[in-house]
Amino acid sequence: MGLVIAALSGCLFGAGLLISGMLNPGKVIGFLDVTGSWDPSLAFVMGGGLIMSFVGVLMARNRSAAMDGQKINVPDGQQIDGKLILGAAIFGVGWGLAGICPGPAMAGLGSLALEFFIFMPVLIIGLLAGRFLRGAL
Amino acid sequence: MLIDFEAFTPMASTFGGAMIGLAALLLLVGSGRIMGASGILTSLVLEQSLWRIVFVFSLVVTPWILMQSGMVDISLTFVADDWRLWLGAFLVGVGSQLGSGCTSGHGICGLARFSKRSVVAVLTFMATAMITVFLLGRGV
């Protein structure tokens, strides 16, 4: 059951990223370019996504366990620390440079575009470096 | 501020966004997990658990099927300078690990839970991303 859910969820995530325009780095950068000729589309991705995700949060609150019997694992940290802010700031610079974030980086491999195959190994090196840095700081 | 109405796709983006949110709903209610792309990818590299392999496999194969079959016809544009792609990839990796999440984990899942950490993260990365594009241009 857990694997069926993972497959369905991955399938919806991949289709949603493609249809919404998130898989197109040029469109993502067009959204970030607020002072230029602005494409507000990604605000609508966020809107549509948040509504469904919020319904999920409400449904999860009324359950003692997930449908496959597993414990519902939600991060409960509330502390705003330097790592969070520094990490998010670095992430944003990278996102603005390339127009690609981790979800579309994976789904984009399915487009067979060369750029995603260049992006992925460097992203993995960055993830491992960031993980090391988080432990060291 | 000038809105680019030619590029604007409110219907497709809302619909696609709802599918992304539904994916997060399903993973949370079905398996009790947060759909954070950077966390799932990092864990997949470090320990290959079956559910993550299945999740990422269908995440990659679905756009492949939709594009190959011609069901979705979208032309992709990328930044022209290679250094933006390389440096962008590295910084996205470092930042999402250090900041404990990315656009999906903080943006779609965290905000829906009204997580204080996610609100701060999303406001921060939106701001630095917009400043980066403002300073360097689109580069597409």
- Please report whether residue B116 resides in a domain: yes
Closest residue on chain A to B138 (Cα): A29
Q: What's at A97, amino acid-wise?
A: L
In a domain, B32, yes or no: yes
Domain that holds residue B23: 10-136
The answer to whether residues B102 and B36 touch, using CB atoms and an 8 Å cutoff, is: yes
User: Are B19 and A19 an interchain contact pair (Cβ–Cβ within 8 Å)?
Assistant: yes
Give the model's pLDDT for residue B139: 94
> Is B4 among the domain residues?
no
Verify whether the Cβ–Cβ distance B93 to A94 is below 8 Å: yes
Predicted complex ipTM: 0.96
Is residue A124 very low, low, confident or very high in pLDDT (cuts 50, 70, 90)? very high
pLDDT digits (tens, 9 = 90+) for B85-97: 999 999 999 999 9
Q: Would you call A25 and B78 a contact, using CB atoms and an 8 Å cutoff?
A: yes
CA triplet B50, A136, A84: central angle to 5 degrees?
75
What is the mean pLDDT of the segment spanning B123-136? 98
3-state helix/strand/coil string of chain B: CEECCCCCCHHHHHHHHHHHHHHHHHHHHHHCCCCCHHHHHHHHHHCCCHHHHHHHHHHHHHHHHHHHCCCCCCCCCCCCCHHHHHHHHHHHHHHHHHCCCCHHHHHHHHHHCCCHHHHHHHHHHHHHHHHHHHHHCCCC
The total number of structural domains that make up chain B: 1
CA B35 to mean position of chain CA atoms: 11
Select the residue from A4, A8, A12 to test the B interface by mutation, using most B Cβ atoms within 10 A.
Answer: A12
Q: How confident is the model at residue A57 (pLDDT cuts 50, 70, 90)?
A: very high
Beta-carbon separation of B58 and A46 below 8 A: no
Q: Cβ of A39 and B8 within 8 Å?
A: yes
The pLDDT assigned to B129 comes to 98
pLDDT value at position A39? 96
For residue B113, the model assigns a pLDDT of 94
Q: Which residues of A touch B104 (CB under 8 A)?
A: 13, 101-103
Check residue B57 and give its pLDDT: 98
Specify the 3-state DSSP secondary structure of A15.
Answer: helix
Report CB contact under 8 Å: B130, A34: yes
pLDDT in tens, B105-114: 999 999 999 9
- Residues on chain A touching B119 (C-beta within 8 angstroms): none
Beta-carbon contacts of A17 under 8 Å, excluding residues fewer than 6 positions away, are: A23, A103, A104, A107, B16, B20, B63
- Give chain B's mean pLDDT: 96
Residue of B nearest to A131 (CA): B97
How far does A117 lie from chain B, in Å, by closest CA?
11
B52: tokens are 């993550």
Secondary structure element (H or E) that encloses residue A38, with its range: strand A37-38
- Averaged pLDDT, A25-35: 97
Asked if the Cβ–Cβ distance from B108 to A53 is below 8 Å, we say: yes
Please report whether residue B5 resides in a domain. no
Report d(CA B82, CA A83) in Å as an integer. 28
Residue B89 lies in a domain: yes
Residues of chain A contacting residue B25, judged by C-beta atoms under 8 Å apart: 52-53, 55-56, 59
Residue at B81 is within a domain: yes
Distance separating alpha carbons of residues A49 and A15, to the nearest angstrom: 13
Asked if A56 and B24 count as a contact pair (C-beta separation under 8 A), the reply is yes
- In the predicted model, is pLDDT for residue A114 greater than 90? yes
Tokens 């700031």 -> residue: A89
